[in-house]
């Protein structure tokens, strides 16, 4: 079974345009994320799924510099972009990640992958977000290419084309779903980048943890925030956009 991590990335974010290439210590956020994704043990490949929009050429240039595969598809129909990328790179299992999660944890991703891969044929879709217990920003979804194809063929509503897996988890009668949980509920934490406030928190975390240990874990981030509880107030007022 070939397992491919597909990362959706574009420069034209509505709330913080160009955020994926915002730099911390001279390195773009997307590069930090790719470094961390390369540590996922059970993944065979990484593909950056961006758009045919010329604004996204800097993402292509980053992929070429880092020797990461990429695919260019529809800007609005992200579901078709994923389907075509999975088909192009012959993925049997697809791991969906969004590019606004530079602190994504490879160990957490391997836990989600293990739940999917250790039950072959039992699940169409596994994530750690059906019931959120991990911090936002550690999101990982795994699904079969067959499930992706079914969603691609059947999803009709605009939100279901924009949000790749929405059709899957909205239709549990059509897809066999499973959820991976953390031992405790840490869902109050927000480690994703949607706003300037989000970026400020991520900047502080990376500047503190990355230089001494480029392979820091999400538990290291929790420990750091326990030392600096006031940091959580930086983006506490940010609301996640609803589907």
| Residue 215, both tokens | 């392979």
pLDDT higher than threshold 80 for residue 54: yes
Q: Stretch 32-54: mean pLDDT, rounded? A: 98
- In this predicted structure, what is the pLDDT of residue 46? 98
Mean pLDDT score of the chain, rounded to an integer?
Answer: 97
pLDDT tens for each residue of 157-208 = 999 999 999 999 999 999 999 999 999 999 999 999 999 999 999 999 999 9
- How far is Cα 77 from Cα 81, in angstroms, rounded to an integer? 7
Tell me 190's DSSP state.
B
pLDDT higher than threshold 90 for residue 127: yes
- In this predicted structure, what is the pLDDT of residue 240? 87
Q: Stretch 207-233: mean pLDDT, rounded? A: 98
Q: pLDDT-based confidence at 241, cuts 50/70/90?
A: confident
Q: How far is CA 223 from CA 57, 99, 167, 190, 210, in A?
A: 37, 24, 36, 15, 14
| Residue 224, both tokens | 């750091």
Q: How far is CA 89 from CA 60, 78, 81, 155, 200, in A?
A: 17, 16, 12, 22, 35
pLDDT higher than threshold 80 for residue 123: yes
Please say whether the beta carbons of 71 and 60 come within 8 A.
Answer: no
Q: What are phi and psi of 42, to 5 degrees?
A: -95, 15
Q: pLDDT-based confidence at 154, cuts 50/70/90?
A: very high
Q: 3-187, which class in CATH? A: alpha beta
**Domain residue limits, the chain:** 3-187
- In this predicted structure, what is the pLDDT of residue 181? 97
pLDDT tens for each residue of 107-118 = 999 999 999 999
Tell me 240's DSSP state.
P
**Summary count for the chain: helices (H), strands (E):** 9, 9
- How far is Cα 7 from Cα 5, in angstroms, rounded to an integer? 6
| Residue 13, both tokens | 């974010």
- How far is Cα 168 from Cα 151, in angstroms, rounded to an integer? 7
- In this predicted structure, what is the pLDDT of residue 242? 78
- Whether this model's pTM surpasses 0.85: yes
């Amino acid at each position: 079974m070939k397992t491919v991590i597909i990362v959706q990335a574009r420069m034209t974010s509505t709330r913080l345009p160009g955020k994926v290439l915002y730099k911390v210590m001279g390195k773009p956020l997307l590069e930090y994320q790719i470094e961390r994704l390369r540590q996922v043990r059970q993944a065979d490949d990484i593909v950056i799924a961006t758009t045919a929009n010329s604004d996204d050429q800097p993402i292509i240039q980053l992929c070429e510099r880092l020797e990461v595969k990429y695919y260019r598809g529809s800007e609005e129909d992200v579901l078709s972009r994923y389907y075509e990328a999975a088909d192009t790179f012959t993925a049997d299992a697809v791991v969906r990640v969004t590019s606004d999660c530079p602190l994504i944890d490879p160990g957490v991703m391997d836990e989600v992958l293990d739940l999917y891969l250790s039950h072959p044929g039992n699940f169409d879709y596994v994530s750690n977000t059906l019931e959120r217990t991990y911090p936002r920003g550690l999101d990982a979804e795994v699904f079969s290419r067959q499930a992706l194809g079914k969603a691609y063929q059947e999803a009709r509503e605009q939100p279901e084309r924009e949000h790749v897996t929405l059709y899957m988890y909205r239709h549990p009668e059509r897809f066999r779903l499973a959820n991976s949980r953390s031992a405790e509920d840490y869902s109050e934490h927000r480690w994703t980048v949607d706003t300037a406030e989000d970026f400020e928190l991520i900047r502080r975390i990376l500047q503190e943890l990355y230089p001494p240990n480029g392979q820091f874990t999400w538990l290291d981030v929790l420990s750091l925030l326990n030392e600096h509880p006031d940091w959580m107030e930086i983006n506490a007022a940010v609301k996640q956009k609803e589907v």
